[in-house]
Amino acid sequence: MLRLAAMVSVEQTRAELLDGRTLAEQIKREVAEEVRRAGIKPCLAAVLVGDDAASAVYVRNKVRACAEVGINSDQHVLPAATTTEELLALIDELNRREDVDGILVQLPLPKQVDEALIIEAVDPRKDVDGFHPTNVGLLAIGRPRFVPCTPAGIIELLERNKIEIAGANACVVGRSQIVGRPVAGLLLQRHATVTICHSRTRDLPSVTRQADILIAAIGRPAFIRGDYIKRGATVIDVGVNKVTDANEARSMFADEADKRLEAIKQRGYTLVGDVHPAEADQIAGRRTPVPGGVGLLTVAMLMRNTLQAAKARRGV
**Helices first, then strands: H and E counts in the chain:** 13, 11
Q: Looking at residue 15, what DSSP letter applies?
A: P
- Reference 288, options 236, 240, 239, 225; nearest CA is 236
DSSP 18-40: P-HHHHHHHHHHHHHHHHHHHT-
Rounded to 10 degrees, what is the CA torsion of 214, 217, 223, 225?
A: 10
In a 3-state reduction of DSSP, which class is residue 67? helix
What pairing do the DSSP bridges indicate for beta strands 102-105 and 43-49?
parallel
Instruction: Tell me the C-alpha distance between 142 and 127, whole Å.
Output: 17
Q: Which of 28, 101, 106, 281 is catalytic?
A: 106
Q: Which of 101, 123, 129, 237 is catalytic?
A: 129
Instruction: Tell me the C-alpha distance between 46 and 78, whole Å.
Output: 11
Instruction: Tell me the C-alpha distance between 283 and 271, whole Å.
Output: 21
What pairing do the DSSP bridges indicate for beta strands 169-173 and 193-197?
parallel
62 is catalytic: yes
Q: Dihedral sign, CA of 16, 18, 19, 25?
A: positive
Q: Looking at residue 126, what DSSP letter applies?
A: G
Cα atoms in the 13 Å half-sphere on the side-chain side of 15: 28
Beta-ladder partners of 243 = 270
Q: Looking at residue 224, what DSSP letter applies?
A: B
242 is catalytic: no
Instruction: Tell me the C-alpha distance between 276 and 187, whole Å.
Output: 24
264 residue type, one letter = I
Active-site annotation, residues:
62, 106, 129
